[in-house]
Amino acid sequence: MHAAGPGSFPATRLRRNRQHHWLRAMVAETTLAPADLVWPLFVHDHAAPLPIAAMPGVERLPIEGVVRAAAEAVTLGIPAIALFPATDPALKTADGAHALDPDNLVCRTVHAIRRETGDRLGILCDVALDPYTTHGHDGLLVEGRIVNDETVAVLCRQAVVLAEAGCHMVAPSDMMDGRVGAIRAALDAAGRHDVGILAYAAKYASAFYGPFRDAVGSAASLGTADKLGLGDKKTYQMDPANALEAIREVALDVAEGADMVMVKPAGTALDIIHRVKTTFGLPTLAYQVSGEYAMIQAAAGHGWLDGARAAAESVLVIKRAGADAVLTYFAPVLARALFARG
């Protein structure tokens, strides 16, 4: 008798299972379904959609446009959307106070979506100050430093405002220390026990957020900060060199009460997604960010690769690495293709 384990050629021929489409489908270890996708949407306070130069196929939408997209998400079987406001520069301040206005754009958008889709679609809202600060940072800038604990106090209030507007989960993307536990306590104190926390637990200081920062208008603000030597987020977002530190970040967020954790970006952190999933076994999301989308769209636009196939493959492998769901700008395109196939 042969010992259990891998066989050897010529009795074993791994190509045998790859001969036909039905056979490959039967042995596929990972599959993609609309339920695996979260659709990030940009909202702005103008009547017409506005394209985003570095993200062909993605637009900043008026509230009604986002509501229509939300309804389509339900039809397609996409479980949730993530909302990002492009704030009118006139409403930005050094302290980002507009984040706390219950009548701000993102809150009005949440209300409008809830009227349309109720609890049939998850609405996730970012908790961070970058859409609202004149310097484009996620936190409060005091004497050239992003101050942690003072920022956390504001983020707690922002999370409660978003919860009261009706979002289902808040997603702190700011990378301050201790914010998950503080936000959990603030939500509970406000009676919002049902509102979950998706922690951007391992978020790297990445070059791949560039197109997003253009889309929400924080790039220009950070550009101003750059002149003062404050133009990057490296004092709070993680160094891409580090993996063990990502595990510590996730461990803290889990201990503080995160319901789900996120790794971001996705394609340059497949190893981290895998480690996080296998270490904690928690619902683990990954964010295929704007720059990852832009790279594929740019190459596809030049005819250098097959955009539809590249998009599907890039998201599938994020799932294979261990993600339970993927935030991706390809969500509607992928879901439509999967939907059409039945």
Catalytic residue numbers read 203, 264
CB of 209 to ligand PBG, least distance (A): 4
Residues that bind ligand PBG (CB under 6 A): 126, 128, 130, 138, 173-174, 209, 212-213, 233, 289-290
Residue type for 332, please? P
Backbone angles phi, psi at 83, to 5 degrees: -100, 135
Nearer to ligand PBG among residue 174 and residue 256 (C-beta): 174
In the bound complex, which residue of the shown chain has the CB atom lying closest to ligand PBG? 212
Q: Residue 244 and residue 247: Cα distance in Å, rounded?
A: 5
Which residues make beta-bridge pairs with 286? 263, 326
Shortest distance, CB of residue 226 to ligand PBG, whole angstroms? 13
- Cβ neighbourhood burial of 267 (10 Å; 0-12, 13-18, 19+): buried
Query: What is the C-alpha separation between 74 and 333, in angstroms, rounded?
Result: 14
CB nearer to ligand PBG: give 93 or 279.
93
Distance CA(1)–CA(138), nearest Å, equals 63
What is the helix (H) or strand (E) element at residue 75, kind and residue range? helix 63-76
Tokens of 244: 């063990």
Q: Residue 234 CB, nearest distance to ligand PBG (Å)?
A: 11
Question: Nearest approach, Cβ of 285 to ligand PBG (angstroms)?
Answer: 12
Burial of 283 (0-12, 13-18, 19+ CB in 10 A): middle
Task: Give the span between the Cα atoms of 222 and 133, in whole angstroms.
Answer: 9
Q: Which is nearer to ligand PBG, 151 or 173 (CB)?
A: 173
Q: What type of residue sits at position 301?
A: G
State how far Cα 51 lies from the chain centre.
20
- Residue 325, SS3? strand
Phi/psi for 318 (5° steps) reads: -65, -40
CB nearer to ligand PBG: give 100 or 339.
Answer: 100
Distance of closest approach, residue 28 Cβ to ligand PBG, in angstroms: 28
**Least Cβ distance, residue 140 to ligand PBG (angstroms):** 14
Burial 213-229 (b: 16+ CB within 10 A, else e): bbbbbbbebbeebeeee
φ/ψ of 125, rounded to 5, equals: -125, 135
